[in-house]
């Protein structure tokens, strides 16, 4: 049953591409990121990313049971995370809409991580189901707005806050850093919370393997010698550059259907 669902959702992803679902958005992003590639090469990456999204959806809808969930996703750098966590100052983990990021959260909790994720509220039926499924798995949510005090408290308890760093922000809530050679309005939350609490900043990127399992590469820790706003910009740029390196290595893993460069500098 699970194998059939995996193939079906991968096929549905391919069908969404053929139907033109946000296809123009995906191709526009790929032209910004990879201007040297031919249009045919960019379309090939885009089609693969739609299939990858479909397969990731199936893995969340019908995940492996019991210990199979942990075997489906292994970590490189987990011991580095545990070493930083032992300092009891909390850990901020920067994540992107890259690979199976939903499965990543669930497996991390299974491995004992006390994980809180900063999220935007989704009002559609699937979004509500996704929120509830995360909660059932042990992942806890912090609202994107109005939860700064709670996020700081979580970190000061020595727990973990995961923050997506690859969503377009309004100018009033983001800062501009370089992403694929263009300015992208980016949340500074990961840097702000870490600097405010003394928490460690890391990043995590899940990469699908040929056998269908995943390897999560934990990067960091990220540090800065700067202070004030300059430190926030420096750390945010480091995290964004780390994401860019992973996307360059595995371009089909990223969420190209999001308008990442929508907000432009004045």
**Torsion of Cα atoms, 184 then 215 then 132 then 192, to 10°:** -40
d(Cα 100, Cα 6) in Å, to the nearest integer?
13
pTM of the model: 0.94
| pLDDT given for residue 9 in this prediction | 87
Residue 5 above 80 pLDDT?
Answer: no
Query: How is the chain split into domains, by residue range?
Result: 1-62, 69-251
Query: Beta partners for 74?
Result: 215
Distance (Å, whole) CA 240 – CA 261: 13
CA dihedral 98, 94, 148, 196 (to 10 degrees): -170
**H/E run at residue 76:** strand 73-76
pLDDT digits (tens, 9 = 90+) for 44-93: 999 999 999 999 999 988 877 767 888 899 999 999 999 999 998 999 99
The percentage of the chain sitting over the pLDDT mark of 90, rounded to a whole number, equals 83
Q: Which helix (H) or strand (E) holds 15?
A: helix 2-18
| Burial class of residue 211 (count of CB atoms within 10 Å of its CB; 0-12, 13-18, 19+) | exposed
Which of 163, 178, 168, 167 minimizes the C-alpha distance to 241?
Answer: 178
Q: For residues 183 and 72, is the Cβ–Cβ distance under 8 A?
A: no
Are 190 and 155 in contact by the 8 Å Cβ rule? The answer is no
Q: Does 209 have pLDDT greater than 80?
A: yes
Note the pLDDT of residue 70: 83
pLDDT of residue 182: 97
Tell me how far apart the alpha carbons of residues 197 and 179 are, in angstroms, rounded to a whole number. Answer: 27
Q: In degrees to the nearest 10, what's the CA dihedral of 102, 118, 167, 205? A: -40
As separate numbers, helices (DSSP H) first and strands (DSSP E) second, the chain gives 10, 9
62-71, 95-104, 137-146, 252-261: least confident range: 62-71
What is the rounded distance in angstroms from the CA atom of residue 38 to the CA atom of residue 43?
9
pLDDT at 241: 98
pLDDT of 266 higher than 90: no
Q: What is the mean pLDDT of residues 249-266?
A: 96
The mean pLDDT value for 238-250 works out to: 98
């Amino acid at each position: 049953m699970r194998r059939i669902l995996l193939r079906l959702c991968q096929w549905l992803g391919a069908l969404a591409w053929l139907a033109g679902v946000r296809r123009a958005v995906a191709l526009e992003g790929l032209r910004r990121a990879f201007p040297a590639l031919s249009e045919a090469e960019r379309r090939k990456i885009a089609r693969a990313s739609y299939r990858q999204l479909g397969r990731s959806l199936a893995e969340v809808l019908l995940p492996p049971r019991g210990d199979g969930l942990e075997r489906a996703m292994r970590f490189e750098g987990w011991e580095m995370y545990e070493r930083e966590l032992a300092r009891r100052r909390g850990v901020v983990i920067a994540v992107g809409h890259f690979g199976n990021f939903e499965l990543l959260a669930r497996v991390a909790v299974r491995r004992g991580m006390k994980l809180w994720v900063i999220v935007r509220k989704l009002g559609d039926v699937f979004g509500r189901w996704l929120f509830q499924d995360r909660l059932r798995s042990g992942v806890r949510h912090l609202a994107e707005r109005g939860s700064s005090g709670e996020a700081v408290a979580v970190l000061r308890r020595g727990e973990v806050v995961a923050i997506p760093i690859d969503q377009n922000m309004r100018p009033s809530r983001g800062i501009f850093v370089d992403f694929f050679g263009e300015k992208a309005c980016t949340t500074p939350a990961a840097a702000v919370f870490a600097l405010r609490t003394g928490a460690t900043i890391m990043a995590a990127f899940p990469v699908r393997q040929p056998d269908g399992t995943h390897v999560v590469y934990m990067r960091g820790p990220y540090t800065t010698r700067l202070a004030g706003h300059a430190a926030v910009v420096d750390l945010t740029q480091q995290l964004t550059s780390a994401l860019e390196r992973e996307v360059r290595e595995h371009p089909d893993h990223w969420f190209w259907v999001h308008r990442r460069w929508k907000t432009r500098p004045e």
